[in-house]
Chains A and B, each alone.
Chain A
Amino acid sequence: MSNLRKNYSEVYDKYVKKIYRFVLLKVNSAEIAEDLTSEVFMRGWQSFKGQGPDKIENIQAFLYQIARNLLADHYRQETRAQFVSVEYAPPLPDAKQDLEEMSFIQSDMERVKAALVSINDDYREVIVWYYLDELKVPEIAKILDKSEPTVRVLIHRALHALKDELK
Chain B
Amino acid sequence: MKQSQLVRQLKSLRELEPSDNWVSFTKERIFAGEPEPMGLRAGVLSFFPLFRYKLALAPIISVLVLIGLFGFTRQTLPGDFLFSVKKMTESAQVTFSSGIEKPETQLRLANKRLEELSRIAENNQVGKLDPAIKEFQMNIVQATKDLAAFDINVTSSDPLAIKGLLAETKKMTENKERVESVLGAIIGDTNELDSAILQIEKQTAAYLITDLEKRTLQESDLQLLNQARDDYNAGNFATSLEKIWILSNK
Q: Which residues of A contact B (CB under 8 A)?
A: 1-3, 5-6, 8-9, 12-13, 16-17, 20-21, 24-25, 30, 33-34, 37-38, 41-42, 45, 108-109, 111-113, 116, 127, 131-132, 159, 162-163, 166
**B1, A163: Cβ atoms closer than 8 Å:** yes
Within the complex, the shortest CB–CB distance from B184 to chain A, in Å, comes to 67
B27 at the interface (CB under 8 A from A): yes
- Identify the interface centre among B23, B31, B35: most chain A CB within 10 Å of its CB: B23
Nearest A residue (CB) for B18: A20
**B30, A2: Cβ atoms closer than 8 Å:** no
Residues of chain B lying within 8 A (CB to CB) of residue A34: 18, 22, 26
Near A by CB (< 8 A), chain B positions 3-37 give 3, 6-7, 9-18, 22-23, 26-27, 29-31, 34-37
Nearest A residue (CB) for B6: A163
Near A by CB (< 8 A), chain B positions 190-225 give none
Q: How far, in angstroms, from A116 to B6 measured CA to CA in the complex?
A: 12
Nearest B residue (CB) for A7: B37
Within the complex, the shortest CB–CB distance from A65 to chain B, in Å, comes to 18
Nearest A residue (CB) for B3: A159
Choose from A8, A21, A37, A42 the contact partner of B13 (Cβ within 8 Å): A21
Residues of chain B lying within 8 A (CB to CB) of residue A163: 1, 3, 6
**B17, A20: Cβ atoms closer than 8 Å:** yes
Chain B interface, number of residues (Cβ within 8 angstroms) = 28
10 tightest Cβ-Cβ pairs between the two chains A and B = A2-B37, A6-B37, A131-B10, A20-B18, A38-B26, A112-B9, A5-B37, A109-B12, A21-B16, A45-B30
Given contacts A2-B38, A6-B40, A163-B1, contact A131 B11 (CB under 8 A): yes
Question: Could you name 21 residue pairs across A and B whose Cβ atoms are closer than 8 Å?
Answer: A1-B34, A2-B36, A2-B37, A8-B30, A9-B31, A12-B30, A17-B17, A17-B23, A20-B18, A25-B16, A30-B18, A34-B26, A38-B30, A41-B26, A45-B30, A108-B12, A109-B12, A162-B10, A163-B3, A163-B6, A166-B1
**B11, A132: Cβ atoms closer than 8 Å:** yes
Residues of chain A lying within 8 A (CB to CB) of residue B10: 112, 127, 131-132, 162
